[in-house]
Structures are given as C-alpha cells and as structure tokens.
Amino acid sequence: MKGRDFRALNLGALWQGLMRDGGAGNRIVPPTGFTAQLTLFSAGAMAFLAVFALALALATGRLAERWSSELAGSVTVRVSAPMDEQAAATQATMQVLATTPGAGQPRLLPSDEVADLLVPWFGPDMPVDALPVPSLIELPVAGEDFDAEGLRLRLQAEAPGAVLDDHTEWRRPLVTAANRLRVLGIVSLLLIGAASASMITLAAKAALAANGQVIRVLRLIGARDITIATAFVRRFTKRAAIGATVGTLCGMAGIAMLPGMSAAGGFLTGLGFQGWGWLLPLLIPVIAAAVGFFATRWAALTMLGAVR
Amino acid sequence: MIEMRDVGFGYHGGAELLSNMTLSLQPGMFHFLTGPSGSGKTTLLRLCYADLLPTTGQMTAFGDDVGQLSRDAIADLRLRVGVVHQDTQFLDHLPVAENVALPLTVSGQPVDMEALRDLLGWVGLSQHARAMPPSLSGGERQRAALARAVIMSPDLVLADEPTGNLDWDMSMRLMQLLIELNKSGKTVLVATHDLNLIRATKAQVAARVLRIAGGTLHLAGADL
C-alpha cells in the first residue's frame, strides 16, 4: 500500500507548491542552517564547474568539426622537380588532377601564398623565389567518388615527382583527440550532474533525519505525504537553483574574461561560447533546480515511508 | 464512528497485547478507558487513529476498513480525530498559536485568526499565543494540545493520559474543557488510570467506562 501511494504522489501539486509562496506551509519545517549553506555552496561550485565543462565540450566540438571538414574539404599536391622541369611537371600534374573523378578545379598556389606558408620556418625576409621550393596545388574534394589512393597511383604513373598530401595522416589523430575531449566534456557534465544529485540527496536526507520528530508530528496531526514532501522539496529546489545561478554567472564571467579567439592562441583561446551558445549555460540553474527537485523528492518519499 | 470486532494487536508480530477487543464508540458519548499502566490503553488509542493496525479482527473508522486505508486516507482520518497525545508533540520552532493552527495549515485551510484567538481563550492560553512550546508548563502544554486537537472541529476527540503530569486542580480544569466539548456534541474518549478523576467527571457528565484487563476490554460497572 505504501509504495503505491508514494508513486502516486502528485508532481503537479509539488510544482505548484514550489511556485507559490510557501507561507505557513513553508514554516512547518524548521530552518536547517548548515545544510542550507552546504546546498547553496555545493550547487554554486558544481554550476561553476559545469560552465567550464560545457565550454570545453562546445569548443572541442567546434574544433573537431572544423578539422573534420577541412580534412574532407581539400587535398594538396606537392610537385618536386629540377628547376628547369618544374613548370612542365606542374602542368602535367594539373592535367591529371583536372581529370580526377570527384575532384574540383585544381588551383596552383601563387608564389606569395607559398612564401606565406614558409614564413614560420624561414622568416619574412627569405627570398623564396631563389629556393627550389616545390609547387603546391590545392585540389578541392567535390564528390563522394574521390579516391585518394587511386589518385596517388595515377600521379606516380603520369606525373612522377607529384606527391599527394591529403592531410589525413596528421589531422586524423587531432580530430580523434578533439572528439574525445568533447566526450570528456560531456562525461564531466554528467558526472557534475550526478555529483550534484548525490550531494543534494545527502543534504536533504540529513535535513529529513534531523527533522524526524517534526515529520512524525505532522503525520500524526493529519498532514499528507505531499504536504510534508513539498515543504522540503521547495526548500532544497530553491537552494539548488539560487546556488547554481550564482555559480553559473560566475563561470560565465570567467569564460568572458578569457582572451579572445586568435589564430596564435589556437584551441585555448577558442574555449568559450559563441553567439547563441551564451544562452546554453543559463540552462544549468534550471537543470540544477530539477535535480534538486527530484533528489529531494526521492529522499523525502523514502524517509516518509518509515513513518506511518 | 470507531468499531472494533475481535481486534487483536501485538507489537512486531509478537504475543498479542490486546486480544478479542470489541468496541463501538457511541457518537456524542463521553468514554473513559482505564486500566493499569502497560495494559494497552495507549495502544488502543493508537489503533483508533490508525497509528497502528490491528493484527487480527476487523476495525472500521467512520465506516471505512482501517486496514485498507491509503496513506492520504489515514491523514484525512486524523483530521477527523483530534488527539491529545500523552507527550503533547509540538513543533518547538513554532509559537503556540501556530502549533494550535497546524492541522488547518497542513490541510491547506485558511486560519481564521478570530476563531484561533477564541480557541486559545477557551483553553486559557491567550497570553501564551506567541510563546514557544518549551516555555509552557505541563498544564499549559496539555491545554494547547487540546486546542490543537479540536481546531478542526473533529467528530471524535481522543486524550491519552491528559492529566498524567498535572495536579488535581489543573486536571479538573482540563477535564472541564473535555466535558464542555462533549456537551457540544463531540464524542470523547479519555484514557486514564486515575479512578478519582473518572469519578469526579462522572459526577458531571454521563460517561461510559471501559476497562482493559488481561488484554481484553470490559465495560466497567459499579465496581469502579
């Protein structure tokens, strides 16, 4: 009989109890002092961490998508030949590439773009034209039927000295790492949620245990389970929501104060929210309130089961 | 109101403390329940407000089988049965007035402040409305408990040794309140082992005296 009654506990009534001013109904449970501070602090700290975990998950997600799209977007062909044969070898390679299935229009990188690529190694003043620098051809990948391995074999046969670099070798591990970081971020969010639920449950159980006599008296004078549970649920849900709101705002402020995104900073300066992404952390207090609501409800119902 | 037929009860599945109890509380009647300490008076009262369930026999409260009541139905039953507990049972963080009004609060009913003041005046606690329960004397606590027991205007008032810790004058003052309640139409059941109190009360109101002896219930007669 008891179990059936508990499961039938009216969530709608609980929610109404949360939304309206508790009034005298809220006073039937004595102030819980230490557990109140504990819940506020823990919810705030967890929300603060959740903001960073969310930012990490979003940033690594963006990074993985960018790298993946770049990985699939184009390949580069490097043509190395003696200086006097360079132009002919490049022309031959361009012809091969132009007839490659699934590939777009090949583009020979002009010498200034090649020079820009070499700046990090040789500095800005190096006379690149005087060096036997290979020609670089960018080839967009336009279709599913693009076969990198087939193209590599064709180049070996028809344009010796041309080497296909499809970036896969060095970028694939980075994409994998970025994806795993995103998973870690999501797992961290889940762990933070679970830890918050555990913490609120423990605090609620402590408060309920400390108020065992109050609960007993309330039952004896005719209080329904919903009435008693609501008094505790309202209190802990509000604490979780308020603590999480403060923690979330602090976390968002911390993220906002990080240096802006720049090419030099790479991934680290990309850690943050972009555009509508800034609204996502605002869900954290709502989720914290929901966690507080259900964790306290579960603890209250379990406790009430021991009181007739 | 409360009907018991061959009801037995034993704690934790042990030997029956009460057995073959047959009882019918008459509406509007004043009842005493007496017997030596440990005979099961409190246990019988707890059965009446479904704090305990019979282990054998059949019991109904206001027509409903107590064993089949849901938790919410038990709560509703307790709003219809005002109980003055032996140890009074207050919420110490609330003042007396809020403790007295607690049944209204938990049942979601508005508190009529005028009626609450009248009730506190009736039990002689007007001056203690804002006092906290631990600061009350034994007699004041019992009267506050009585006020809380009747604030819902229950059909039945149960009092478990309400005068146990009170002197004679204070005991009679409390009994006077219970007699007034009974005269206003309420059914009253008072558990006490104080025979002098029963005799003094019977001088003022027609009362039925039930005695628990040897685990069973008897109607006490002239031997009282």
Is residue A270 located within the same domain as residue A127?
no
Residues A146 and A177 both lie in one domain: no
Q: What is the pLDDT of residue A6?
A: 41
Asked if residue A226 lies in contact with residue A13, where contact means CB atoms within 8 angstroms, the answer is: yes
Instruction: Determine whether the interchain pair B105/A308 forms a contact, defined as Cβ–Cβ distance below 8 Å.
Output: no
Tens of pLDDT along B22-79? 989 888 999 999 998 888 999 999 999 999 999 999 999 999 999 999 999 999 999 9
**In terms of residue numbers, what domain contains A129?**
81-160
Which residue, among A220, A221, A232, A235, would best test binding to B if mutated, counting the most B CBs under 10 Å from its CB? A221
- Distance separating alpha carbons of residues A250 and A245, to the nearest angstrom: 9
Residue where a domain stops, chosen among A125, A160, A195: A160
3-state SS of chain B is CEEEEEEEECHHHCCCCEEEEEEECCCCCEEEEECCCCCCHHHHHHHHCCCCCCCEEEEEECCEEHHHCCHHHHHHHHHHEEEECCCCCCCCCCCHHHHHCHHHHHCCCCCCHHHHHHHHHHCCCHHHCCCCHHHCCHHHHHHHHHHHHHCCCCCEEEEECCCCCCCHHHHHHHHHHHHHHHHCCCEEEEECCCHHHHHHHHCCCCEEEEEEECCEEEECCCCC
The token duo for A50 is: 């959740």
Give the C-alpha separation, B18 to B212, whole Å.
Answer: 9
Per-residue pLDDT band at B221 (split at 50, 70, 90): low
Amino acid B14: pLDDT: 80
* CATH class of the region B2-94+154-219: alpha beta
- Of the three residues A122, A138, A160, the one that is the final residue of a domain is A160
**Residue B150 tokens, joined:** 């009747």
Please give the Cα distance from B186 to B165 (Å, whole number): 25
Q: What is the pLDDT of residue A134?
A: 86
Both tokens of residue A96? 């091969």
Query: What is the C-alpha to C-alpha distance for residues B161 and A153, in angstroms, rounded to an integer?
Result: 102
Q: Which of residues 178-237 of A touch B (CB under 8 A)?
A: 214, 216-227
Q: Is residue A204 one of the residues assigned to a domain?
A: yes
A265 with A193, same domain: the answer is yes
Which of A133, A160, A187 is the last residue in one of the domains?
A: A160
- Is A128 in the same domain as A178? no
Residue B224 — very low, low, confident or very high, per pLDDT cuts 50/70/90?
Answer: low
3-state secondary structure of A138: strand
Residue A115 and residue A121: Cα distance in Å, rounded?
10
In-domain check, residue A73: no
Q: Is the pLDDT higher at A32 or at B146?
A: B146
Whether A117 contacts A126, CB under 8 Å: no
Q: Extract the tokens encoding A286.
A: 């709502």
- Average model confidence (pLDDT) across chain B: 90
* B18 beta partners: B9
CA B123 to CA A50: how far, in whole Å?
A: 57
Q: Is residue B162 classed exposed, middle or buried when 0-12, 13-18 and 19+ CB atoms within 10 A define those classes?
A: buried
CB-nearest to A221 from B52, B102, B111 is B102
Same domain as A189, residue A135: no
pTM: 0.72
Interface of B with A (CB under 8 A): 49-52, 70-72, 74-79, 83, 85, 89-94, 98, 101-103, 105-108, 111, 148, 152
Q: How many domains does chain A have?
A: 2
Same domain, A182 and A275: yes
* Cross-chain residue pair B103–A222, CB shorter than 8 Å: yes
With a pLDDT cut of 90, the percent of chain B lying above it is 55
Tell me, yes or no, whether A197 and A295 share the same domain.
Answer: yes
Statement to judge: residues A210 and A129 lie in one domain = no
Residue A187 shares a structural domain with residue A53: yes
> What would the pLDDT profile of A93-132 be if each residue is shown by its tens digit?
998 888 888 888 899 988 888 888 777 777 777 777 777 7
What pLDDT sits at residue A283?
A: 94
Residue B187 scores a pLDDT above 90: yes
Is residue A74 in some structural domain? no
Structural domain includes residue A165: no
B125 or B170: which leads in pLDDT: B125
Contact B108 A227 (CB under 8 A): yes
Average pLDDT across each block of 10 residues of chain A; the chain has 308 residues. List them in order. 43 57 69 78 93 89 78 82 85 89 88 80 74 85 82 87 78 80 88 89 86 90 90 88 95 87 55 86 92 88 82
Q: Are A289 and A245 in contact (CB under 8 A)?
A: no
Q: Helical H runs in chain A? A: 2-7, 11-19, 23-27, 34-73, 86-98, 111-122, 148-158, 168-210, 212-220, 225-256, 283-304
How many residues make up chain B in this entry? Answer: 224
- Give the domain ranges of chain B: 2-94+154-219
